[in-house]
Structures are given as C-alpha cells and as structure tokens.
Amino acid sequence: MRHTIWGLATHGIINFTSAFGVSQTSLQMYMAVKKTKWNIRMVFGVTAFFMSLIGISCALAGLVMFANYKHCDPLSSGQIFSMGQLYPHYVTQLLKKLPGFSGLVVSGFFCASLSSLSATISAVTVMILQLIKSFRPSLVERESIVLSKTIALGVGGAAIAMILVTMNIGAGLFKTAYGIGAMLGIPTVGVFVMGLFMPIVTQKGAILGLLTGAGYGAWMGFGGLNNLPYVYRYPVSTNGCNATDSSMLSNLTLPVYDPDTWDPKSYYRTGIQVFYDLSYTWIGVTELAVTLVSSLIYSHVLAKGHDLPIRSKLLSPYFSKKCCFIPKSWQQRIDFSDTENERYKENGKDIETVTETERL
C-alpha cells in the first residue's frame, strides 16, 4: 500500500526534521535569530503553521483540478507533457481573462524557487569554504571572497546540470530532488540522533554509518527512479476536450472507478525489484534505521579501550540525570564531571573544595 496513516506520519516527521532540524540552510537562519525561548517558539510555531497551510492548500488545489478536468485530462490529451505542469496550466486557463494575473502567479513560482535555491547555494558555499579554511587557515579575507564567489558559481552550475540530467532521466524534477534529499538529509538526521542519544557510537562508527546510510539512500532513491513501481491512477477522460459549450458536457459519461477491475497482484515484481516497490513514505524510516544500526555495528567492531569519554553537556539533558534506564556500557562513555561542577556551583560551592564525602 502506497499511503497509510503511520507511513505519512513517520515520513512527515523525519523529512521535516531533516529540513528544519539539521539542514545547514535552516541552521544558518536560526543563528540569525536572537536566542530567547520566545523567539525560538515563534520560529518553529510560525514555520509549522505555514507549512501546514501550504500542505492543506496543495491538497485542496489537487482536488479542485481533478474535478475541473474530469471531462478533459490535459496530460492524456497532450496539452501538457508532465504532471508538474498541471497547476501552471490550470492557473493560466483560470486567469486568462484577467491580463497579467496568470503571469504574476507563474512568476511567483520562479521567485519562490530562486529564493530557496539562493539560500541553498549560500549554505553549501559556506560549508565548502569552512572546510577549505580548516586545511588552509592562512587564507586572507580577499582570497576568501574570491573563493566563495567561485564556489557559489560552481554550485549553481552543478544545479543547472542536475536539471538537465533530470530531464533526460524522465522521472520528474520532484522525484529526483526527493531522491537526492533523502540520500543526504536522512543520514544527517541519524548523525544528530547519535550525537544526542547514543554515546556508545564512536567517531569512526558515525562516519561509516553516515556513508552506509547515504549509500542505501542512493540505491533506493536513484535505483527507484529507473524502476518506478506501478501506481494506480483514477480513470480520466478526454471526451470533453472538443466540447464547445456546457450542454455538450452534460451528455458525456465519466469513467467510474471500480476496484474489482484492478488486480494489484498482477503488478507484483520479483527479485531485487521487490525493494523498489516499497512505498516512498517508508524509505526515510528504513534509511534512518540503516544509519543507526550500521553505526552501532561499526562502533562495536572498531571500538578501542582508550576512547575518550563524552562530556554530558554535549548529550541530551536526559543523560545528565544518570537515569537508571541508561545501560552501564553507555554510562561509562559519559563524563558527568561538568554536570556535577554546575550543580555544586549552583549551591554556592567550588567543586575543587568539595570533599569526597560530599561527592558521595
């Protein structure tokens, strides 16, 4: 089954966590906000409200377009050649009697896409520039400016080249972008989860788990583009494309959806193609699981007895309480000294002058 309540819920949580929780683009925007509880709540509250509003609007727009083109499907009749053109086509037809309005709406699409693209290019440029500076700390400001502009130009060129590749693949821009985003974003969420809740994971284990998750995402994402599963579409009609008035449309019969005429088992595949039949709503969940499990395995295999403990400040506040549910092997990897230091300072004491009896 392609869509279920649990599938859509987990898919939404993981993907929105990737987009607004660990994305470099979002993090750079958060850093520009004054760090107060009110501002943080406002940022995430407003974001959640408008993203929900956009989602509801898209769903309603899809229902309206399906009802509007019930007698003449634009894709089947050859008026458009991609489902991505359906909404602009609908807007231009709806607003064709109002000069300039259809162009205003279409230009809004380009403005929104260019805004997201510029923010992404800036974020990627900053990351690459910081990586270069770590290898060459003597880089002066003038060289950094020239280098950043060169990197931004290269990233923009790569984005344009990706569009050309997408057109040749024939899977659609949205599906290709989703495959790339899942390949890079979901393993990053896994790394953040390890850093907050899994102190047993080592640095090498996290890096290898990230690469393993990205490899799995690339296999499922790009492999699925070449082995698209069969998705049932509701029957459409083109009988009303040549109708000149509404009276002719009233005499047309619409195709009826009959579940008994569709046998999903006839579309089942065998071999490795069975993996590509997995609903896209569960790919992110499995990719996150692959990242976490493989990181644990790598950390166990490559573990060393002299690995330095992790400061409790760098973990979730849950660990600072030394909860009894934390495994002992995990507790041994945590350094609670900074937490104890803060606790003693809050009581007006200096940890250096506290005796061992007071500690116990």
Three-state DSSP string of 269-311:
CCHHHHHHHCCHHHHHHHHHHHHHHHHHHHHHHCCCCCCCCEE
**Any idea which residue has 């907050």 for tokens?**
196
Q: What share of the chain is helix, strand, coil (3-state, %, to 5)?
A: 70, 0, 30
For helices 203-226 and 173-197, what crossing angle results, to 10°? 160
Can you tell me which residue has the tokens 């925007």? Answer: 29
CA separation for the pair 54, 43 (Å, rounded): 16
Read off the tokens for 239: 């009988």
Rounded-to-integer distance, Cα 186 and Cα 184, Å = 6
For residue 84, give every residue at least 6 positions away whose Cβ sits within 8 Å of its Cβ, in sequence order, or none.
172, 173, 174
Nearest to 169 by CA among 240, 273, 82, 259: 82
Residues 6+ apart with CB under 8 A from 336: 312, 320, 322
What's the pLDDT at 75? 85
Q: How many CB atoms are closer than 10 A to CB 211? A: 14
Residue type, 331: Q
Residues ≥6 apart with Cβ < 8 Å to 120: 25
Q: Given this model, what pLDDT does residue 347 score?
A: 52
What pLDDT score was predicted for residue 60? 92
- What is the tally of helices (H) and strands (E) in the chain? 15, 2
DSSP assignment of 60-103 equals HHHHHHHHHTSS--HHHHTS-SSGGGHHHHHHHHHTTTSTTHHH
Task: Give pLDDT, residue 173.
Answer: 62
Contact 303, 184 (CB under 8 A): no
Backbone angles phi, psi at 334, to 5 degrees: -110, 135
The pLDDT value given to residue 237: 78
The pLDDT assigned to 254 comes to: 65
At 59 the pLDDT is 87
Check if the beta carbon of residue 71 is closer than 8 Å to that of residue 252: yes
358: part of which helix (H) or strand (E)?
helix 356-359
Which residues pair with residue 311 across a beta bridge?
335
Is the torsion defined by CA of 237, 238, 241, 245 positive or negative?
Answer: negative
Residue ranges of the chain whose pLDDT lies below 70: 1, 166-182, 230, 232, 244-268, 304-307, 319-325, 336, 338-360
Q: For residues 238 and 76, is the Cβ–Cβ distance under 8 A?
A: yes
Report the chain's terminal Cα–Cα distance, integer Å. 57
Question: Of 162, 202, 225, 166, which is closest to residue 294 (Cα–Cα)?
Answer: 202
Calpha distance 57→103 (Å, rounded): 20
Element (H, E) at 330: helix 328-331
